Structures are given as structure tokens and as C-alpha cells.
Amino acid sequence: MENKIFLIGDTHGTGALFANKHFPEGKDLTEDDVVIQLGDWGLVWDNFESNEEKYWLNFVASKPWTQLVLLGNHDNHPKVWGLPQEQKFGGTVYCDHRFGGTIWYLKTGEIYTIQDKTFLAVHGGISIDKHLRQEGRSWWPTEMLSKEQEEDVLNNLDKVNWKVDYLLSHTVADSVVYAFLDNPNSEKFRDPVSRFLEFVCNKLEFKANFFGHFHNAREYIDASGDYYRCFWGGPTELDETYILDQKQKWLDEK
């Protein structure tokens, strides 16, 4: 049986979407199958783990598949970045072995090889509600990319001649935000991470960009033929044939 990759958007502190009700395919997966969460994980949140947090971390970690997480804006980045680092999938990951299994956290700038496909990871995005939150407890300025993290992205892309199969991010490039956001006055239109992703995507050769952040399940192909998909709800399988078909439909309609 061919190994599978699934993607899921924002979970915001609950593992409920990984339950059989929302993810019936999950019960038949093995550790050779991968589920990638695309930010606003929220399950490493409290500076001292709450019982609820421990419950959900144990729930997800005990699942049969390999769980990867890319951090978003509503995540406790410093706490995750304090976890032990290991080499996995050809890059550096943060690993949490505490809860009945391992959850692996992707590092910005790393290019991973998963089932013979390459994935660039870029975390973060702007929190439009940060004025309602408390720094260090419910909001972290590390949601923005540091200069060093941006340089890691650019330097590692230089090593692969600016070509990967997939871009994993939490938000999306400036020029396509409007396709996933209905409020024209949203601060998400003025996101420094999106501006950086715009620079990257203008130069990068990639099959698709997968992300969360916008709380909808939409897809979009831009004027250059680049495919973007936002994930919301339970995990969805990465289907390369579907992506190619959508791109072909786009070409046929031009």
C-alpha cells in the first residue's frame, strides 16, 4: 500500500479533528503515513501545561501515524523552540517525546524530504487580535519571522536552486490573500510574513502552497499558474493528481 500524506489547518488547542469522526482514514494509517498540521496548533500553549493540553497532546501523539506540526501565529513558539532538536526527513525538527509517542515540529527555512517529495517550511503570520492578548501568555512576537529565519529560508533555497515540490506555510503570499479573505479591511492584508512569502513565491518553482490561517477550505490558481490551497476541518489527503487536474482545467479555460 502506498504511504499517504494528509494536511490539516488550524486546530486551536484541541485534537478533536483527529478523532475517527472527523478523520476516519486515520485508524488505518501507520507510522509511515504522515499528517502535517499547518499552524495555530495551540496544543503547546500554556507555559505550564494544563490538564486539557496534556490530554490532547497524548491523544494525538498516541495515534498510529507520524504527526508533523508547522507553527502559526497563535502558537507558543518559544516553548516549542525549547524542545530537543533532532534530524528527521533530511532537516532539523523539534521533537516532543513526552506523550505516548512523538510529535515533530517543523523549523522555518528547513527543506524536508517526505515520501520522496520536498517541502519548504515557513512558520508564522500576523495576529489581528493581539491587542486582546497578553504577551508571553497568549501572544508571542515570534509570530513574525526574524531576519535570521528569513536568511535561513533564502540560503537553503539557494542550495536547491529555488525548486521544491511544496511550500508549507501558515499564511500566504500578499498577492493572493484576497482569494482567501473576505474582509477587505483586515490587518491580514498588511502581514510582513505575507510580504516575505510574496518575495519567495515570485522566485520559487513549486507545485503547490499549502496553508491554514484563513479558516476556510479554498483553492486558487494565480496568473502564473501557481496553486494555493487553504485547509480547514479534518485532515485531507495530499492528492497530486487532483492538483495537476486543477492546473490543467485552469490552462484550458485561459
Domain borders along the chain are: 5-253
Q: What is the pairing mode between strands 208-211 and 219-221?
A: unpaired
What integer pLDDT is reported at residue 185 of this predicted model?
78
Topology of the domain covering 5-253: Purple Acid Phosphatase; chain A, domain 2 (3.60.21)
What integer pLDDT is reported at residue 187 of this predicted model?
85
| φ, ψ of residue 205 in degrees (nearest 5) | -100, 120
**Average confidence (pLDDT) per 10 residues, the chain, 254 residues:** 93 96 96 98 90 94 97 97 97 93 97 98 96 96 98 98 98 96 86 98 98 97 96 98 95 87
What integer pLDDT is reported at residue 254 of this predicted model?
77
What integer pLDDT is reported at residue 1 of this predicted model?
66
How far apart (Å, rounded) are the C-alpha atoms in residues 44 and 76? 6
What integer pLDDT is reported at residue 47 of this predicted model?
85
